[in-house]
Chain A
Amino acid sequence: MRTLRWFLGAVVLLGVILMVILDPLDSVFYPATHRHMELVGRAVSILIISALLLLYRIMRGPTPADRTVAIDIFGVLVVGLCALLGVASGRSWYIDIGIAWALQSFIGTLALAKFLEGRRLDD
């Protein structure tokens, strides 16, 4: 079990390093609308690394409250990711995805907190 866990972590870390070095996201941003496009694309990979730290906490968290906190923070992080993608690719509908994600994440977090407290949804 421990070796499996270490193997999974090594695969994820290798994937992140390959993604930062080779940068396959460049092929996604085909219309070059902004001259800081490449720099903002690198910023996206930094946000993905911090999201992987959160996924470690979701996987490993000893109590359900840890997982709930990590999911809440993940939702806030994805909003920034969508904004950066929208600026880098020059399409403003990425920000709509961010707004919708923030709304859904807030409602989901409140529901999870209510279940943590031991109450039902119609309480």
Chain B
Amino acid sequence: MIDALALVFIAAGLAFDVLGCLGMVRLPDVYNRLQASTKCVTLGTCSILFGCFLMTGFSAGGFKLLLCIAFILLVSPVAAHAISRGAHRAGIPLWKGSVVDMYAKDREGEA
């Protein structure tokens, strides 16, 4: 029963990972790619790790997996935010179909 649940978690995580990487290839812009891939791959990897935790149970390896889930959930949004801020400040243009750019408006207000 628990093994079947773990396999369901691992399969969902694999699907999220593959779709996130497909978005990384297919989308037109740095910001679109970051928005698609970061969230999908973070959730997918956390789901895979939780499935592996259900398989191993409460052993040393299982607690390492839980620690890894906490670390990834804490760290991955920070890295994505740093990349998007650096890209916008480096002057990388948005996709030509983008609707709004609030961060540029805010920076005009600062200057």
Could you tell me which A residues sit within 8 Å of B by CB distance? 34, 36, 39-40, 43, 46-47, 49-51, 53-54, 56-57, 63-66, 68-70, 72-73, 76-77, 79-80, 83-84, 86-87, 92, 95-96, 98-99, 102-103, 106, 109-110, 112-118
- Cα-based distance from A102 to B20 in the complex (angstroms): 18
Contact with A70, one of B24, B55, B67, B80 (Cβ below 8 angstroms): B24
70-105 of chain B: CB within 8 A of chain A: 71-72, 75-76, 78-80, 82-83, 85-87, 89-90, 92
Chain A interface mostly: helix
Could you tell me which B residues sit within 8 Å of A by CB distance? 3, 7, 10-11, 13-14, 17-18, 20-22, 24-25, 30, 33-34, 37-38, 41-42, 44-45, 48-49, 52, 55-56, 59-61, 64-65, 67-68, 71-72, 75-76, 78-80, 82-83, 85-87, 89-90, 92
- Report, nearest first, the 5 A-B pairs whose CB atoms are least far apart: A92-B61, A116-B86, A65-B87, A113-B82, A50-B21
Which A residues are in CB contact (< 8 Å) with B76?
72, 76
Check B13 against A68 for contact (C-beta < 8 Å): no
Nearest CB of B to A45, in Å = 10
Nearest CB of B to A95, in Å = 4
- Cα-based distance from A107 to B12 in the complex (angstroms): 28
Nearest CB of A to B97, in Å = 16
Contact with B90, one of A43, A73, A117 (Cβ below 8 angstroms): A117
**With contact pairs A73-B37, A114-B86 given, residues A43 and B10 touching in the complex (Cβ less than 8 Å):** yes
